[in-house]
Chain A
Amino acid sequence: MEELLRWRLARAEAEAPRPPRAARLLEEARPWWEIWPARFQDAVERLSAIRLAVGHAMAEPRPGRIPVRTAALVLRKEQEIETSVRVLYLRVEGARLRLRFELEGTEEDARKSYDVTFVCTETLKPLFSAPAQSSLMGEYSIDFEMSPELARTWEHLKVMDRMPFRLILRSDTGQ
C-alpha cells in the first residue's frame, strides 16, 4: 500500500503543471491599476466626470432616508456604463468593511459578481479592490478586510453620508 501511494505521488508530481515563477506570482498579486495604469487613468477620468447631486424640492417632508448616490463606472468587455450605486448597508467594525449596494440601470444585464475598486473622491487614487457578490435581490454585498488606517477614517460613516469614495466595477477581471 505504501509503495502504491508513493507511486501515485510520484506520478502526480510528474503530471502536475510547473509552479509559477516568483515574478509571475508577484505580477498576479499586483492590483489591476498597476498592471494597466493607462486603463485605470482613463476610467478614473470618466468616473470623476460623473456628476451626481440630489435637489431637495419636496413640498412635504417624507419619512425615510434620502439616499446619497455614489458615482460608479461599470467596465465590461463589451461596454462601459457610467452609473451610480445606492449604498444600502455600511458598517466598519475593526478593519472589516461590510457594504451592500444597489447598482442603477443594469438590472437587465446583472452580473453574478464584480471586482469593485474603491477610488478616493478627493485624490482619485485607488484605495483597494474587493469582490462583490450578487444576492438574489439584485443587490451586491462586499465583506472585506481593509487597512486599519482607512477603517479608522471610515468607521463613523453612515449610509446617508456622502461617500468618500467612487467605485469602478469590473465584471471581466481578466482585462
Chain B
Amino acid sequence: MRFVWFWTFWHWSKESYREGCLLRSPLHGIGGHWDEWFRHEASVDELRQIQEAGHDPSSQRRFMAWLRRHWARETEWRSNVGAVRFALSQLAQVPPFHKWQAFDEFRTGYGVPGISAVVLIAESVGEADDVRKVEALVLPQSDGPCVVTEGFRADANDLITSRRAAENLTSGGGLLRFLALWVWRGERPHPRWLAALLAAAWGTLGAAFLYLWLGPDPGNYLYTFAATLLGAWLALLLAAGLTWGKFCLDARRAGRLWKALLQGSEIRLRMEGGLTVKGGSAGLPFSLNVLLSLFLANPLPARRSWIWRQLFANLREGAARSAATGVVTSSGSVLPVILEPKLRACLLHGQIKQVVTPRQRPAPHAFAPIQSARPEPARQTSLSTAPIGFAAEYGSLQSHRARHLADALMALGRLNNRWQPFLNSLALLVSVAMIVALADFKAILLPPPTPSVVAPISPSLTRLWVSLDTKRPEAFRVALDSRYWANRRVDVAEHKGANGSVRAEIYLDRIWDTPVRDPEDGTVWIERRHKFLNREFHPGERVGRYSLSYINKLGHD
C-alpha cells in the first residue's frame, strides 16, 4: 500500500475526533490536524517516507493523484470533488506541503473554476487588480456558519443572502423564472436541422391558417384541410409541450437534489486579497459560484438534465473569462451598483471577456472620475451597451445585463438563442389564432347532429317558418327550391316569445310568369353552414330535404 503514512495520519485524526480530542471534523480541520500530527505524532520512519514522497515534483504529483483517486474514494465524500480540493488547499498551507511545488495551485485557491467579482479598493476608479477570482466549495455542514469565507471578510447577512439566492435558483421561484426564460429564449437540445424543421413547420402552419382564413374557398377539401391544420398544430404543440415538460421536470428534479445538498452543506468562499468587503455588490458572483460549486460537488443530477448540464459545462468552461457585479436579494433579483469603475477594471484586466451587471443606466457620478483617469476619453463608448470596447488595446468586453440571477445564468451558461423568441412568438401567434378559431374548427370537424323540421308553422300565408329541433341555429341554413315561389336561402335563428322556436323565416314571393299553379310546389333544404373566424364558406352539404306540403301540414298534424 502506498502512502501508508497518510492513512496513519487520517486514522489518527478520525480517532482523535471520535475521542473528543479534536474540535473540528477530520475534513474541516485537515490542515491543522496534519500540522499537529506532523509535528508531534509522526514517527521517524514516517517522516522519512514523507520526505521521499516530496522529493521531486513528479513524486509530489503522484501523491496528489493518489489523494484524488484513492484516498478521496475511501472517504464518505467520495462523490464530492470539492472535498478533496479543499483538503489539498488546506494541506498546501502546512509543512512540508507548503514547500511542495505540486501544491502551488492550491496555495492561493481551491483549484476550481470561479467567476470573478469586481471589488474596488477604496478610492479606486477601477484597476485590473480590482477583479478578483472567487472560488466556492461545498463541504459537509460543520459547527461553523453556513458560509465560511477564506482570504476575505464580508457581512454574514450578505453571504447568507447570496446563498439563499442560489438556493432559490435550485428549487423555488428563481428556478421557475429560469425555466420560463429557457422556454422563451433558451437554446434547445435539438440538432440544427430539427430546429429548422420545427421553425418551418410553425411557419407553414401560420401560412395554412391564413390561407384558410383569407384564401380561396377550399370547397370539398374544407374538412381535410381543417383536420390537417388542427392535427399539425396539436402535434407541434404536443411536441413543444413534451419537450418543455421533460426538460423542465428534469431540471426541477436535479435542482431539488442540489437544494438538499446545499441545505446540508457549508459553503466555502475564497477570494484572495485579505479584503474586508463592504457592501453587497459581490453578491451576484458569490451566488453564481455557489451554484457552480453545487455542480462540482455533485455533478450526477446534471447528467439527467440537459439544461443544467449545458449550463454548468459552459459556466465552468467560461468562468475564468467571466466577471459579475450586482447586489443580489434572497429571491435572486439583481439590484443596481456603481458600475463604471467596475467595467473599467474588467476592461483593464485583459482576461475578462464577459461581465454580468445589473440592468441599470450608467451613474453619471461614477462616470466622471474614469474620464479623468483615462487619457483617451473621446474614445470611450457607452458602457451600458454591449459589446463594449474601451480602447483597441484593451480588447472588447461583452456585457450582459441581468434583472435576476436567472438572467445571469442564461447569459454565462450561453443558453440564450436569439432566434428562439422569434420562433416562440410565431408559435404563440399561431396558437392564439388557433385557439380563437377552435370553435369553428369544432363546427367543421364535429358538426352538430342533423335537425328535423318541427312545429310551429307560420300563421301567415306569406311567410314560411321552417322550425328545427337544434340548439345550434348558427350551424344551419334553410334553402327553398320551388318553381312557384321565388327561391330563397335564409339563416336559421332563435326566436323568442309566443311561438318561439329555432327557425328560418322565408318570405314567400310568388313567381308570376311560371306555368306551375301549385303553391305547395317546392322543396326545403337544410344546409350546413361553415364559418371560420369572420369568413363564411360556400354552403356546405345538404342534410335535410322536406317538401313544402309536408311543412305546411306539420301544424295541422
Contacts and interface: CB of A to CB of B under 8 A. Distances in A.
B143 A141 contact: no
B420 interface: no
A141 B35 contact: yes
Nearest to A68: B23
B144 interface: yes
Contacts of A136: 35, 93-95, 98
A90 B21 contact: yes
Contact of A158 (B21, B28, B94): B21
Interface string B234-256: 00000000000000000000000
Contact of B20 (A62, A67, A158): A158
A21 interface: no
Interface stretch (A29-37, A81-89, A164-172): A81-89
A141 B23 contact: no
A55 interface: no
Contacts of B22: 88-89, 159
Given A66-B143, A136-B93, 12 more contacts: A64-B144, A88-B22, A88-B29, A89-B21, A91-B16, A98-B36, A100-B36, A135-B35, A136-B98, A137-B31, A141-B39, A158-B21
Nearest to B37: A89
B32 interface: yes
B40 interface: yes
Interface string B132-151: 00000000111110000000
Interface of A: 62-67, 86-91, 98, 100, 135-137, 139, 141, 143, 158-160
Nearest to A101: B23
B25 interface: yes
Size band of the interface chain B makes with A: 20 to 34
Most buried by A among B16, B20, B98, B140: B20
A28 to B, nearest CB: 28
A65 B21 CA distance: 11
A135 B142 CA distance: 22
A160 B23 contact: yes
Nearest to A136: B93
B42 to A, nearest CB: 13
B32 A137 contact: yes
Contact of A88 (B32, B93, B141): B32
B112 to A, nearest CB: 20
Contacts of B24: 64-65, 88
B152 to A, nearest CB: 12
Contacts of A159: 20-23
Contacts of A158: 19-21
Nearest to A158: B20
A54 to B, nearest CB: 11
Nearest to B24: A88
A1 B40 CA distance: 44
Nearest to A91: B21
A66 B143 CA distance: 6
B5 to A, nearest CB: 19
